[in-house]
Structures are given as structure tokens and as C-alpha cells.
Amino acid sequence: MEWAEQRRLMVERQLRARGIRDPRVLAAMGEIPREEFVPHPYRGASYADDPAPIGHGQTISQPYMVALMAECLELTGTETVLEVGGGCGYHAAVLGAVATKVITMELIPELAEMARQNLERVGRAANITVICGDGSKGWPESAPYEAISVAAAAEEVPPALIEQLAEGGRLVIPVGGGWEQELRVIRKVGGETPWRVATFCRFVPLR
């Protein structure tokens, strides 16, 4: 099946069918070639309803989870977004399609370089900066952020990310250990950080 048709079916069957409604997120997921971010041995399953290995013990998240996290950030197109756990660059590409600027951080140098190359190859690098570093400390140089997305599970929400979140900003992060994780959506309001659980999930640990 042609990649474009696989993307269309993914959007309809995996995203719309599960309640993803943000038209800009759906458009981004339907346009960005996920197969270009998946390593060749797994490329045939680029649009499967599952995560896929990208090396170094890391994964590219399930398409639905990428869309859900992006939708939970409530992006309007004017935001600067910090992404923690950049991996192969796919999630950053989606965020870059619905925000003004994305700073994506990846701890593993080989994956950071893979993300840079992937984003350049698919023409999505113009508003995305890839930084190799410890994302749990955030990136204060570009703070505050209207939105922060974390693609790895933390036992506790890193204080640096709360500090770097703008007033009214949204932070989406998996919290918990092992397989007992919940995807939290945290909002910073008047110095307080109320949160809700969007879904339960399984992510690799935040390192």
C-alpha cells in the first residue's frame, strides 16, 4: 500500500476513531511521512498502531499517543514548545507543524543526530532546534515555554520543567514507574499547577 494511503487510514482509524479532533494535529499527522523517521528494518510497520524501536533502547511512540499529546497541548500556532525526549524527531515534526518554534532535547547523541538528519530530509527543520542534552533540566535559554511535551516517564515531574513553563502554559508528561504510568496534563495558573490524567500509558523511563 502507498505510504500516503497508509497515513490516511492511520488518521481515520487510529486517531479520529479514538476521539482526536484538533484539525491542525490531524492535518500534521496526515502530512508528515512517519516512514522517514522509522529505521529501515521496521519501516514496513511505520503506520501500525504500536511504537517502533529506533535503537539505543528507545522507541518512536504509537501514532495515537503522538496525536493525543499534541492535542492536549492546545496549540494555536503561536507557541514556543519544548520537547523532552526527541528520539528520531517525528514528534518534533508534528509539533513544529502546529507551533511557531520547537526546541527538542535528546540525551543520546546518536539519536539527536538522527533527528537532525530526519528533519532536514523531510523539510521540517526550519523552526525546530535539536539539542543534545539532559531534558529533565529543560532549556532555560529559550524559556518560558507556552507548552512542554515529555516523551519519557518520570517518577516525579522535574521541577525545572515547571519553572520554565509560562503562566497559562501546558505540560504533558507521563508520570509513574514501570508499567504503571499516567499521562498528565498540567496547567500553570497563578503559580499553581493543577493537573488531570488524559490516559494511562507506557513510556521508556526519563533518563
User: What is the set of active-site residues?
Assistant: 61
Q: Is residue 97 within 8 Å of 31, Cβ to Cβ?
A: yes
Q: Which of 18, 25, 16, 125 is nearest to 69 (CA)?
A: 25
The three grid cell numbers given for residue 73, joined into one nine-digit string = 497541548
Q: How far is CA 179 from CA 39, 149, 152, 203, 204, in A?
A: 25, 20, 12, 8, 9
